[in-house]
Structure 1
Amino acid sequence: MTDRAFTTAAAEGNEWAPRPGCVTTADGSYAARLALDDGSLYPERWTLDGPEPYAVPLPGNQPEEPGTEVQPLTDGRVLIHRVAAGRHTFSLLYPTGPGTGELPLGSVECPAEDARLRLLPPAPTGDRAFALAVDGGSTAVWQVAGGPGVPERLAQLPGRCSGGVWLDRAGRMLALDRTPPDGGPTKTVVVDLARGGEVSPLLQIADASHDRLLLADPDSGLLLIRSDAPSPGQDRLGWGVLGSTLPVRFPECLRLDGPAAPFAIQPGQALMPESCAVALRIDGAAGSWIGVWRPADRRVHHLAAPEGWLKGTGLWTRDGVLRLPYATRTVRCAVARVVPPAAAPAPQPEDPGRWPVPKPAVGRTSRPVPLQQALAPRGGRTERTPLVWVRKKQTPVGSGNGAAGNAEGRGATPPVPGTAVVAAR
């Protein structure tokens, strides 16, 4: 099974937004959720890579609290995160005949009243798990499963961080939305977990804008972004391409009547981000439904969600089938298969949400700079900054000979440690 999904807790623009109805491994083999039975919560594991999905209950000695988190690993065990009096404990659950086995992993102390800790989205490798702890004016990244000495603190960042998006298949490059200690605008940064938590900037669309990364697909490089750069004080959905000199775009079709949050990107579309299908959860007065959008299509297809859909959860197959887990009173564990309408791009005038920018100058070292210094206004309209991977102390990818060899303006070279998407000068 080749389904993959990368999710973030900040999909609604809220740094501690509610988690989806269940959590799936990055390869789509397992899912886990807190199920409700006769008023009591208990962990439940779903197996999704067989002929038919099925659920295995993993109840403990007592019902779970509402704040408990669960996350599946690709070996079939389920990580559980419990909180009691500022103490966060982690264990691995697994079925043992009629009962549930539990392997304690340790705990993390967060005694401060305003401290928070929650699990990050499943790592792409599926054999490890990570958590984000915010305490006062700093944030720590913890590895809480899959290591020799877990829990282990891997990185410490100044400021309050939220979200969490994996940028590679190795589970090394983690994107976080960081608000500085002085309360400045929120910007996405990249934490290299293999280099002692080295931090690099990722998104800097405008000097004072709040820029958050919602989803990323390593195959195509497609990025889903939420920012108030085009409409100060009002967040909008946009998209860009990792390693590209093309600008961030904020399509008008993504300005929907109700709140919308992307939750899955079609995998396997190498170097073809415009053709990737993106699934969105759209909320309205009548409930929640599914939106399907492709950058090349320039419109959103609205589809009814199955009854009992575990909101915010879904997986794309490589051939463009959307799989939506659901559970009802009569069906305990099931997955609906949705085939959205095929892409039908039509000639359109230039998207008003697209902000063209000049290419970076050849032979100059790129670095983050305020927008007002980086680009001059043209015709009374300030141009915006493209997403471009910048190698430290090197010529930006996409400039000079590299740009000449790529008519699309996208770099085919995957990101390497120490690079960042910045406002290139």
Structure 2
Amino acid sequence: MTACAVTTAVETGPAPFTIAADGSYAARLAGDADARYPERWTLDGPEPYAVPLPLEQPEEADSEVLPLADGRVLIHRRVADRHAFALLYPTGPRTGELPLGSVPAGEGLHVSLLPPSPDGRSAYALAVAAGAETVVWRVAGGGPGGPERVARIPGRCTGGVWLDRTGRLLALDRAQGGRTKAIAVDLGRAGEISPLLQIAEASNDRLLLADPDSGLLLIRSDAPGEQRLGWGVLGSSRPVRFPDCLRAEGATAVPFAVQPGQALMPESCAVALRLPGTGGTGPGEALALWRPADRHVFRLGGPPGWLGGAGLWTHEGRLRLPYATPDVPCGIIGLTIPQAPPPPVRLASGPRPAATRPVPLQQAPLAASR
């Protein structure tokens, strides 16, 4: 099963529940207080099931976990003066651990895992230094010498969105010169940097989500005069659009999953958004479903026990949301996007406005809302 999922990892590092890029496995820190342990979920079978991966000592609350396509789970821990990485896997009744090396902590250095790589084998971490420099480390899937520096970027970078299916092109939001702009980093060419979003010279333009199949991009920008959610198409001449229906949900809405497999059909991709500020990830959590082709957003309540505001779309357009409750410790609920109501009929009055010349996305003007 191939799927695409972007969780709250987009802006704050991987969420408590992180899904592999191909939808096969997921991982989270289960337990609470002083009894936290990694847990792996298998998602590509007839029914989901969870396998606990505890070690002799419980994990700290700030440890991060990330699933690989082979079923192993990467864990990132802060250990004294370093950031250590290891792979965990079940071995009968016990948990096996393969150390992968570490990155020196350094004063003011913040290290966090990037979302799962599309290749399913590699894992990357983003290290942001106090001196306004960012380093991308390959912490799994590289050579035997431990973490490998694959890109060094001037400025403070956040986010992390994969732009292709090979795990080569990575988008980051770089703060530099008082503005934040999304850039593309080519990890196959020693971290070569190119502009990705430059909607207006003075605007802050962040990339929240991307679908490599269709090229659909979900963007947050203040180019319209306030923070708005918008969409564009990677590699096309279509301008960025900021639909009024998304404005009603607020700029803090977080797109976390997009329907894959819609090649050359970005407007038909179903998108799921988490609506924060509604009671955490419990029964009161809200989500919204939307397609760029529609002028309507379907607002729904999240399932009880929804984990991390995470989820994934299948090719067929079914949204799968993970949840855990006392009665169902490992569950998946499926949703489909309802049919949007037809747009209102408007009578023409006067000549139509002339079409504007299309320009590249990184230089696109603001398009009329739809």
Q: TM-score, normalised by structure 2?
A: 0.90
Aligned position for 1:397? none
1:278 paired residue among 271, 275, 298: 271
Describe the shift of the 1:171–1:64 C-alpha distance in structure 2 as closer, same or farther (beyond 3 A): same
Letter matched to residue 179 of structure 2: P
Deviations 1:178-235, CA, capped at 9 Å, x for gaps: 012xx4210011110011111000000011111000000011110000001002xx32
Where does residue 205 of structure 1 map in the other structure?
Answer: 199
Deviation at 1:35, TM superposition (A): 0.2
Contact 1:8 1:163 survives alignment (8 Å): no
Whether the aligned pair in 2 keeps the contact of 1:162 and 1:177 (CA below 8 Å) is: yes
Please list the CA deviations of residues 60-94 of structure 1 after superposition, one character each: whole Å capped at 9, or x if unmatched.
Answer: 11111111000000111000000023410000000
Deviation at 1:367, TM superposition (A): 12
**Aligned positions of 1:20-419 closer than 5 A:** 20-36=15-31, 39-112=34-107, 114-135=108-129, 136-148=131-143, 149-180=145-176, 183-231=177-225, 234-256=226-248, 259-285=252-278, 287-346=284-343, 357-360=356-359, 383-384=365-366
How far did residue 7 of structure 1 move? 4.3
Name the amino acid aligned to 2:174: R
Distance 1:159 1:21 in 2: 27
1:348 & 1:335 partners in 2: Cα distance? 40
8 Å Cα contact 1:281/1:311 also seen in 2: no
> Is this contact kept in 1: 2:18–2:26, CA < 8 A?
yes
Structure 1 CA distance, aligned partners of 2:294 and 2:66?
34
Deviations, residues 277-335 of structure 1 (Å, cap 9, x unaligned): 10000124453211001111111101121110013200001111000000012211111
2:126 match: secondary structure: strand
CA, structure 1 residues 190+283, in 2 after alignment: closer, same or farther (shift >3 Å)?
same
Q: How far is the alpha carbon of 1:243 from its aligned partner?
A: 1.6
Do the aligned partners of residues 8 and 152 (structure 1) sit closer, same or farther apart at CA in structure 2, a change above 3 Å counting? Answer: farther
Please, which moves more after superposition, 281-290 or 158-167? 281-290
5+ residue gaps in structure 1?
A: 12-16, 350-355, 361-365, 372-382, 387-425
Q: In percent, how many aligned pairs have the same letter?
A: 63
Shift of 1:257: 5.1
- Extract unaligned runs of 5+ from structure 2: 347-354
Q: Is the 8 A contact 1:176 1:188 kept in 2?
A: yes
Moved beyond 4 Å, runs of 4+: 366-369
Query: Which amino acid counterpart does residue 73 of structure 2 have in structure 1?
Result: V
Partner of 2:5: 5
Between the aligned partners of 1:368 and 1:27, the Cα distance in structure 2 is: 29
- CA distance, structure 2, for counterparts of residue 284 and residue 139 of structure 1: 30
Cα distance change, pair 226–121 in 1 and its aligned pair in 2 (3 A) = same
SS in 1 for 2:276: strand
What is the alpha-carbon distance in structure 2 between the residues aligned to residue 150 and residue 220 of structure 1?
Answer: 35
CA deviations on 1:27-67 (whole Å, 9 max, x unpaired) are 10000000015751100000011111000000111111111
Q: Secondary structure at the match of 2:245?
A: helix
Q: CA deviation at 1:9?
A: 3.2
CA distance 1:313–1:150, shift in 2 (3 Å): same
Summarize the Cα distance change of 1:218–1:8 in structure 2 as closer, same or farther, 3 Å threshold: farther
Aligned mates of 1:42, 1:25 — CA distance in 2 = 19
Q: Per-residue displacement from partner, 1:82-110 (whole Å, max 9, x unpaired)?
A: 00234100000001111100000000002
- In structure 1, C-alpha distance between the alignment counterparts of 2:95 and 2:17, rounded to whole Å: 20
Q: Is the 8 A contact 2:278 2:286 kept in 1?
A: no
Assess if the C-alpha contact under 8 Å between 2:13 and 2:159 holds in 1: no
In 2, distance between residues paired with 1:24 and 1:284? Answer: 23
Q: Secondary structure at the match of 2:36?
A: strand
Q: Distance in 1 between matches of 2:23 and 2:106?
A: 35
Structure 2 vs 1, CA of residues 166 and 345 (structure 1 numbering), >3 Å: closer, same or farther? farther
| Length, aligned pairs only | 353
